[in-house]
Amino acid sequence: MDEFLAPRRFLAVGRRRGVPARVVSVAAALLVVFALVAPADLERFTVGAFLRVPVEGLLGVVLVLVVPGRARWVVAGVGGAALGLVVVLKVLDIGFDLVLYRPFDPVLDWPLFEPAVDFVSVTAGSVAAGAAVVGAVLVAVGVVVLCVVAVLRLSRIVVRRRLVATRVVAVVAVGWISLALPGVPVASNSAAAFVYEHARQVRAGLHDREAFAESASVDAFRDVPGERLLTSLRGKDVVVVFVESYGRAAVDDAGVARVLDDGTRRLAAAGFGARSAFLTSSTAGGGSWLAHATLLSGLYVDNQQRYRTLVSSDRMTLSAAFERAGWRTVGVMPGITRAWPEGAFFGYDCVYPADRLGYRGPRFGYATTPDQFTLAAFERLERGPGRERGPGRERGRPVMATIPLVTSHAPWGPLPRLVPWESLGDGSVFGSMASGEVAPDAIFSRDPRQVRADYGRSVEYSVETLVSYVEHYGDEELVLVFLGDHQPAQVVTGAGASRDVPITVVARDPGVVARVAGWGWSEGLRPGEAAPVWPMESFRDRFLGAF
């Protein structure tokens, strides 16, 4: 009897052992199919997107069947690694689209990971930043290894079941063709199209340096002598302020709109006129320095390669034009916490990084310095009656300043409150407020409604600070230009948002306001729906031409 039952026991054990193997094989097949058909955009993650037959998978089966001997395993291994890299690239595309409104550029975008790590380090700590980097690398390597293992396993099954695999491919191909004729979408070549588009992107990236150099060679103001530049602003202190993440989305926010309208009334009561419109930024969601370079240089700077090419050139920036025309030019940079050699390119006589502003209060989220303190430091150092004259400061020489404010930087909280300007001191007054020593959760792990509310409040603070600054320190000599650098992340704007940012010119001198009257901009601090929308890179030449 035992001898009779032995074969059955053997078959039962074999079946039990075969179950895990089948599960692994099915998992491998699902992984490969997912990698091939998964979209590189979260908006297209639908059930229908995955109910497709990947053409690349069928071709892979055919390739395994026709390639002889050991070569097939080399082909399978290389194909698996390539598939893993496609998955990693799709994840990068999704991440970049969520933050920067565009896919990842394999040639030009690698430098952007450094500021991303810096952001995590500031908001969550250096340990978290290090862990994030190590984790990302391990996940990327793990995905590639898993795809290689999955493709090799499926290839062995195809070779062992050659006849079955051939019949399956034939049946699927016939079904695909039959359904394609009446227009039923059952096949997918999204992976091939994805690789093709990124290959085109790589080619464009490799040629981008030459294209940028060609556009940079054209400059209508390159040889204009200083005495002919900015003649209508002689004696004026011109302050260009970038408000972090101040985009069209902020103008559509009820709270920000209320602050802008209230600011318009208050400044009008103080004798100031204002005109506003929109500029289309070269970036979105991040990369503030690219927008700064675009506005000041009059060139479209949307990647780090262009930025590096620009700052090593002799292009005349807007600040350099003021310097040529006799202004003292300064950069007040609360976001700069390390050496910044680019300051010389932009034409600044003096740069004030975060550690030269004299701030002794707490951090608020990402911001090194509350916007109010940054503006007060500028007054103290360069413009106010009791100013501490910077190196080379001459009496009576007007100042042109570029000031990127940082309080409205993600993750948008916690926020400081406005205090009386006379009470600022060294910033210790902010110590009594809930500060950003412990940063809020990352924006993508919070309720989107809460993130949008926090974003709106941060921009309200920055705009309210600027209005209060003009009320407190504004005079006949002040000309303020303030604008956004880019739109916030898509968690705030939603999908399909533009790259438009508001821009406003404020002055008490009616002659200055009259100079921009022909631009057709809206009156007040809030641009209307019909306000013009200019490319950000066009502003330098329009401004120099007007004044």
Per-residue confidence (pLDDT) for residue 12, from 0 to 100: 45
Per-residue confidence (pLDDT) for residue 440, from 0 to 100: 56
Q: How far apart are CA 315 and CA 511, in angstroms?
A: 29
Classify 480 as helix, strand or coil.
Answer: strand
Long-range own/partner contacts, residues 27-30 (CB < 8 A, 24 or more apart): 27/150, 28/149, 28/150, 28/151, 28/153, 28/154, 29/150, 29/154
Over the stretch 247-263, which tens digit does the pLDDT of each residue have? Answer: 999 999 999 999 999 99
Residue 193 half-sphere exposure toward CB, CA atoms < 13 A: 10
CA distances in angstroms from 355 to 56, 111, 112, 368, listed in the order given:
55, 25, 24, 9
Taking CA 442 as the corner, what is the angle to CA 336 and CA 130, rounded to the nearest 5 degrees?
65
**Of all helices (H) and strands (E), which one includes residue 328?**
strand 328-333
Per-residue confidence (pLDDT) for residue 95, from 0 to 100: 83
Per-residue confidence (pLDDT) for residue 455, from 0 to 100: 94
Over the stretch 497-515, which tens digit does the pLDDT of each residue have? Answer: 999 999 999 999 999 999 9
Res. 527: pLDDT tops 60:
yes
Over the stretch 114-151, which tens digit does the pLDDT of each residue have? Answer: 777 776 666 666 777 788 888 889 998 999 999 999 88
Whether a cis peptide bond, with omega within 30° of 0, leads into 414 is: yes
Over the stretch 233-249, which tens digit does the pLDDT of each residue have? Answer: 999 999 999 999 999 99
Per-residue confidence (pLDDT) for residue 3, from 0 to 100: 44
Over the stretch 356-406, which tens digit does the pLDDT of each residue have? Answer: 999 999 988 888 899 999 999 999 999 876 444 444 344 468 999 999 999
Per-residue confidence (pLDDT) for residue 436, from 0 to 100: 58
List for the chain the helix, strand, coil content (%; round to 5). Answer: 55, 10, 30
What pTM value is reported for the model?
0.83
Q: How far apart are CA 216 and CA 315, in angstroms?
A: 7
**Structure-token pair, residue 401:** 């300043």
**Structure-token pair, residue 484:** 């956004």
Q: Whose CA is closest to 212, among 113, 303, 289, 284?
A: 303
**Structure-token pair, residue 230:** 């900015």
Per-residue confidence (pLDDT) for residue 391, from 0 to 100: 41
Q: How far apart are CA 354 and CA 333, in angstroms?
A: 6
Q: How far apart are CA 285 and CA 504, in angstroms?
A: 21
DSSP class of 521: P
Q: How far apart are CA 90 and CA 232, in angstroms?
A: 52
Per-residue confidence (pLDDT) for residue 446, from 0 to 100: 77
Q: Could you tell me if 247 and 487 are in contact, meaning their C-beta atoms sit under 8 angstroms apart? A: yes
Q: How far apart are CA 160 and CA 243, in angstroms?
A: 64
Over the stretch 15-44, which tens digit does the pLDDT of each residue have? Answer: 445 667 788 888 888 888 888 888 888 777
